[in-house]
Amino acid sequence: MSLRILKRSVLGLALFAFFGLVASRVFFVFADVAVVNAEKREFIAPQAATVQTSFAKPFSDVADGAPLVRIAALVQDDAALLGAEQAVGVAQDTVAARRIQRAALLSEKGRLDERLVALLEAARASVAEQIAARESELVSLAAERERRGRDLERAVDLAGRRVVSDAVLDQTTVSSRKAQLDYDAAANRLTALKIKFRQIQAGLLVEEGTGDVAYTAQRLDEIALKLIDADRDLKQAELALAGALARRDAERAAFERKHVITFAAERAGRLLPPVVEPGTTVAAGGTVAVTAHCAGLFIDVIVPEEDGARFALGQSVSFRLIGSDKEWTGSVAELSANGNSAALRNTFVAPRTTRRTWLLARIAPEPAFVAKALQETDCAIGRTAVLKTRSTGSLSLVWAALRDVL
């Protein structure tokens, strides 16, 4: 009796399970695999390299074009760059030497200018003293000339009256003439001194003050010529340095393009692990950074290919994350047999499945789910979800249920 009851119980449970499965297949389709996913960009090291700098931390948001990580190749050919660096060093030394030479010449010119000014000042003072002496002498000679003139006039008067002899008149005449000549000579000397003073003031007279002034002026002329040559050499050295710097910058840019790579975000997103630390060695083909477009989350669903008729583009579906009772809605955005549709994103990686033929449905979740996922550090990427969609109620559904049971 108990055995019969047991058999009936087992049969009843089997029938209940069968009809429950048929009902579920008639009214809902449950996904075999449903995973939260997003467009990802994986940055790969093209050759063995060391990480120089990591610009962002894992799970941080990065802007479009923001640098992520910089790597440098382990094996580097820096001969051209080193040659350019050495050429820059030589050019810099040459410029420094030319500047020191020019500064020395300017210093020498300044010293000679001061010396010439001092010598000319002394010469001006000496000529000024001579002018003062000549002017005083000229005053005395003028007085002497006036006195001799009066003596001559008196001698002429007395000689006319036969008071003095002709010899006295001749002597007085000679004295008056000599006084006039002395005055004229003194006036000429004074005029010459004034002309010399003006020439010294203008810097045109260099022989005054012995040979020091002439030597200093000659040295100044030599320094001026050397300064012209020094300016020309300095300009040429600066042009050579500019050329060396340009060549170094070009070699450095070429070196960095070949050996140093700075990966930058191609769009705004979130940085996901792994993010390698500076100093880490990465093998060729190794991942150095991964970014995800969290604002464009979607749900990847794998179902048997024969269930593909239950999905249509734009169809509304419901899903919930494993471990959560919150149910969300979405719509079918893309469909692909075995995930080979060209419409799917290049970053798609097929979920693991034992089925030989399967269908991928990509679900666009509601904005509220995306906003909630953005609050998670990893944007909920990789979380498993359970998805269901209303069926069409055709007989193929019953056959699918029987196939699953039998």
Residue 202: predicted pLDDT: 66
Question: H or E stretch including 386?
Answer: strand 385-390
Residue 392 has pLDDT above 60, yes or no: no
Instruction: Please give the order of strands across the beta sheet that includes 61-62.
Output: 40-44, 287-292, 269-272, 61-62
Residue indicated by tokens 């039998």: 406
Q: Are 71 and 50 in contact (CB under 8 A)?
A: yes
pLDDT in tens, 141-156: 788 888 877 877 777 7
65 or 392, greater pLDDT: 65
Which residues is 271 bridged to in the sheet?
291
pLDDT digit string (tens) for 125-136? 877 888 888 888
Choose among 284, 294, 296: nearest CA to 362: 296
Confidence of residue 208 (pLDDT cuts 50, 70, 90): very low
Per-residue model confidence as pLDDT tens digits over 157-184: 777 676 667 777 678 778 878 878 888 8
Mean pLDDT of 76-92: 84
Q: Per-residue b/e over 34-72, b at no fewer than 16 CB within 10 Å?
A: bbbbbbbbebebeeebebeebbbeeeeebeeebebbbbe
Beta bridge partner(s), residue 35: 300, 384
Which of the residue ranges 103-107, 121-125, 159-163 has the most confident prediction, judged by mean pLDDT? Answer: 103-107
CA–CA dist 68, 43 (Å, integer): 10
Query: Hey, what long-range contacts does 365-369 have (CB within 8 A, 24 or more apart)?
Result: 365/297, 365/298, 365/299, 365/319, 365/328, 365/329, 365/330, 366/328, 366/329, 366/330, 368/328, 369/297, 369/328, 369/330
Residue 376 confidence (pLDDT) above 90: no
Burial of 232 from C-beta contacts in 10 A (0-12 / 13-18 / 19+): exposed
Burial class (CB in 10 A: 0-12, 13-18, 19+), 317: buried
pLDDT tens-digit map of 247-303: 999 888 877 777 788 888 888 888 888 778 888 888 888 888 888 888 889 888 877
Is the pLDDT at 394 greater than 50? The verdict is: no
In 3D space, the residue among 149, 145, 206, 151 whose CA is nearest the CA of residue 179 turns out to be: 145
Strands (E), 211-275: 260-264, 269-272
Q: In the block, which residue shows the tokens 């002017």?
A: 135
Cβ atoms 250, 272 nearer than 8 A: no
Closest C-alpha to 351, from 35, 42, 38: 35
140: pLDDT confidence band, cut at 50, 70 and 90? Answer: confident
